[in-house]
Chains A and B, each alone.
Chain A
Amino acid sequence: MPRLSRRDFLARMVGAIAGGMAALLGIPGAIYVIGPSQERTAGGWVPLGPVEDFPLDVPKLVNTTVAKQRGWVVEQQELSVFVSTEDGADFVALSDRCSHLACRVRYVEETEETSGPGFFCPCHNGVFDAGGGIVAGPIPRPLDQFETKVEEGQLFVKEA
């Protein structure tokens, strides 16, 4: 390595100190901006109502709200769940958000593809069967399913 002149040495020192100061501000700054954006909060159990309110033949769409702490604000977020049951004891709770691009799906008594009940997404003609499985359209995966439990006659779903 060639010998550094005094001038070049000082110039490099100034550059190094300036770089150090930029890093001292830049690295915490980047962490600050990323901040809580990658945090995942565990969902809680959300009550959907007494079990006897759910009919045996067709899925019932339950609209409820969940309080969520977002930054310094507690927001009431909408949660819509299709609840179906065959015996009034075991429940299947499906999200009404299409797995493609999160449009809202609706229940249809008869889909063209299956001639049976299912869910239809109007955005890109996505079709799910009654259990949320893929039937047609650009759907990448079945409808999201919530974990359910019954406590003291109330149905709860575990929100993701």
Chain B
Amino acid sequence: MATRLGDWIDQRSGWRDTWNRVFLAKVPAISWGHTLGAATLVAVVILIVTGVLLTVYYVASPADAHASVQYINNSVPFGWLIRGLHHWAASALVVLAVAHLIRVILHGAYKYPREFTWFTGIALLLLVFAFGLTGSLLPWDQRAYWATQVRIEIFATVPMIGDWLARFIQGGEELSGLTLSRFYAAHVWLFPLLLIGLVLIHLRLVVRHGVSARPRDDRRRRTRAGHL
């Protein structure tokens, strides 16, 4: 039954071809380090799912933000789990993304023809930091408020445009409900759209180029051929 349905859809979409190319591709000798990209993606998926769930109860206004987070934590069934997963997956994402980056550097996987994959990866890492900046204000507690205050002061030290930039980021002269509102808009609309777009490009390029062979394997091959 499932096979017949799969056939029916395959004849009209060719999904099996794509599936095989993505999941049954031949890969060179790889290490556990090669799983870090996929692990990063899992963290992203968890963050998207739990993030969508959090918006069911979260309200981004100075009067409601903190109370709604407390409500999620204490009153909604599994609210503690959903919020906890979002919080810890966010931290894990930063760690995994950086570990993935280090793996790519150590294996020289950023080199031709994968430079563009690398650039999208760097853009994604910066985006992750932007998610962290905007997301950490949303609980609207003392820590969120004062930590964001410090970060905005750091933006204000940018030469020439610092003042303008700080006012732009906080939506006015000081950190206020306007800041909360625009951080929320960026965190749940702008950044996720950018993230999904960039992740799709990043993955498309990984599928296109395949997994890079480890430098060590290359050297062994060259040595055998007498080139080193």
Contacts and interface: CB of A to CB of B under 8 A. Distances in A.
Interface in B96-138: none
A97 B132 CA distance: 49
Interface string A27-63: 0110111111000000000000000000000000000
Contacts of B77: 28, 31-32, 34-36
Nearest to B83: A32
B109 to A, nearest CB: 24
Contacts of B53: 29, 32-33
A28 B75 contact: no
Give the size range of A's interface with the partner. Answer: 10 to 19
A71 B68 contact: yes
A32 B70 contact: no
A36 B76 CA distance: 7
Contacts of B206: none
B70 A72 contact: yes
Contacts of A67: none
Contacts of B139: none
User: How large, as a class, is the contact surface on chain B?
Assistant: 10 to 19
Contacts of B78: 28-29, 31-32
A4 interface: no
A1 interface: no
Nearest to B45: A25
Nearest to A27: B78
A29 to B, nearest CB: 5
Nearest to A18: B42
Contacts of A35: 56-57, 76-77, 79
Contacts of A29: 49-50, 53, 78, 82
A28 B83 CA distance: 12
B67 interface: yes
B46 interface: yes
Rank and list the top 10 A-B pairs by shortest CB-CB distance, nearest first.
A28-B78, A72-B67, A72-B71, A32-B78, A35-B76, A31-B77, A28-B81, A32-B82, A29-B53, A31-B78
